Structure 1
Amino acid sequence: MRRALARLLLVLALPAVLVTVWWVTSEGSTNVYWPPLRTILRTFPEVWTGERLRTDLLPSVLRLAAGYAAAAVVGVVLGTVVGTHRRVRAVCEPVLEFLRAVPPPVLVPVVMLFAGIGDTMKVVVIASGCVWPVLLNTAEGVRAVDPVTAETARSYGITGMPRLRHVVLPSASPQILTGLRQALSLGIILMVISEMFAASSGLGFTIVQFQRGFALPDMWTGILVLGLLGFVLSLLFQAVERRVLGWYHGLRASSRRSP
């Protein structure tokens, strides 16, 4: 109980300090672009009603979920193939490095030409950016499988899908989860950017509309919603990660305790 309470205090300490600093430094501000935090918080419940959450926040979350899920599946599958087969890696590595170096926001106008301006375009933009951290981390994790473990599995006749399922993927799972964590933060950024182009709903669209209408306190409330969304998704990801990698964290803890 005490450990959980101490952990909660550590999680909340820095946000509390930052909010306090923001409140103090912005109090009494007359700058139209930098309204007091008190004004932003008073405006928040007026702007983010249940209807606006349904029409703007929910579509953004659904687009993010679709693009992120597609990137996770494609990244893990292709990363496993690239990491397992040396010849495939030698052929694909230059192309992968080239594509990874292209910033995903630059692809938005190109994707619009092929996918239109609807939800498909936004999902494709999110997936095209999120896939690279997952793919590259998966490939590195598969390549780093312990040779002794791999050889032991081979000596027992564990090959094909059983080897992939029981040896390769569990050994690479810490790297895969690292790629998925990186992809999550990148996906939130791409979600907002994609919604700033020819959109009629979503967090990015709403924030831009507030900015164009000089409703700056409303714009700041949208930024707060975006930050809260990232925080909640991070907590959910940590919960999933602790469950999936429970064996890994337990192994590391036991290795630290051993003399």
Structure 2
Amino acid sequence: MIDVLKKIVLAIALPALLFAAWWFASAGSENFYWPPLREILRTFGEVWTGERLRTDVLPSVLRLAAGYAVAVLVGVSLGVVVGGNRRVRAVLEPVLEFFRAIPPPVLVPVIMLFAGIGDTMKVVVIAAGCVWPILLNTVEGVRAVDGVLADTCRSYGISGGARLRHLVLRSASPQIAAGMRQALSIGIILMVISEMFAASNGLGFAIVQFQRGFAIPDMWSGILLLGLLGLILSVLFRLVEGRALAWYHGQRRAQRGTR
């Protein structure tokens, strides 16, 4: 419990300091586009009510969750296949590098042609951007599986699903988690970008509407909410990762202690 509290404190320490610096730096501001933080916070409470959270924040979070889940499923599945088979990797690697180099926001107009302007388009955009760090980290994690452990599994006749679960995925899980952590921040960015195109709700849509209506404090409150959402998701991810990879972190601490 103490370790969990330490992780939470470390996660929120720097954002709290930046928040305090913002408060004092903007305290006497009379700039229309740079309102004082106290005004933004007052607007925050007025704008982001229960109704607004239901109509804008909840749809955004659900789209992010759906796109992220698709990216994890596709990235890990394809990464295991590519990382575990040299011939498949040789064939697919140039194609994967080509598509990885295309910025996902550029694909939004193309995806709109095939998926329309509804939630499907937004989920596909999020998944298209999140899949790459997960896929590439999974490939490298699978390729780095200890050869001695692989030979041991072979000697004991461990194959198929048991080998995949207990050797491949377990060995690659630290790098998979690193890719998932990177993908989470990318997913939040793409969630906002996708909602700026032909949307009728969502955080990205709300922020653009505030900007077009010159409701500057409202716009800043939406940006602040996005930052808080990212912080909350980051803390939750760290907690889940720490629990799922407790064996790995314990192993690392033990190795550091023997040096």
Normalising by the smaller structure, the TM-score range is over 0.9
5 Å matches for 1:20-35? Answer: 20-35=20-35
Distance 1:139 1:254 in 2: 27
Match of 1:104 in 2: 104
Match of 2:235 in 1: 235
User: Aligned pair in 2 of structure 1 residues 235, 211: CA closer, same or farther (>3 Å)?
Assistant: same
How far 1:2 sits from its partner (Å)? 6.8
Match of 2:165 in 1: 165
How far 1:258 sits from its partner (Å)? 2.2
5 Å matches for 1:64-79? Answer: 64-79=64-79
* Runs of 5+ unmatched residues, structure 2: none
Deviations 1:156-198 (A, max 9, x none): 1112221111111100000111111111000000000000000
Deviations 1:97-152 (A, max 9, x none): 00000000000000000000000000000001111111110010000001111111
How far 1:13 sits from its partner (Å)? 3.0
Matched residue SS, 2:230: helix
Q: Which shifted more, 199-208 or 240-249?
A: 240-249
Give RMSD over aligned pairs: 1.4
User: Aligned pair in 2 of structure 1 residues 20, 255: CA closer, same or farther (>3 Å)?
Assistant: same
Match of 1:250 in 2: 250
User: One-letter code of the match for 2:163?
Assistant: R
Distance 2:66 2:148 in 1: 38
Percent pairwise identity: 74
Deviations 1:19-68 (A, max 9, x none): 12111111121111100101101111100000000000000000000000
Matched residue SS, 1:247: helix
Match of 1:80 in 2: 80
Matched residue SS, 2:69: helix
User: One-letter code of the match for 1:244?
Assistant: A
5 Å matches for 1:4-153? Answer: 7-153=7-153
Mapped contact 2:11–2:235 kept (Cα < 8 A): no
User: Aligned pair in 2 of structure 1 residues 177, 3: CA closer, same or farther (>3 Å)?
Assistant: closer
Distance 2:72 2:4 in 1: 31
How far 1:256 sits from its partner (Å)? 1.6
Distance 2:6 2:101 in 1: 41
How far 1:4 sits from its partner (Å)? 6.0
Q: Which shifted more, 187-196 or 244-253?
A: 244-253
How far 1:9 sits from its partner (Å)? 4.3
* Runs of 5+ unmatched residues, structure 1: none
Match of 2:184 in 1: 184
TM-score of the two chains, using structure 1 as the length reference? 0.97
TM-score of the two chains, using structure 2 as the length reference? 0.97
Mapped contact 2:8–2:235 kept (Cα < 8 A): no
Distance 1:18 1:43 in 2: 20
How many residues are paired up?
259
User: Aligned pair in 2 of structure 1 residues 188, 7: CA closer, same or farther (>3 Å)?
Assistant: closer
User: One-letter code of the match for 1:76?
Assistant: V
How far 1:16 sits from its partner (Å)? 2.4
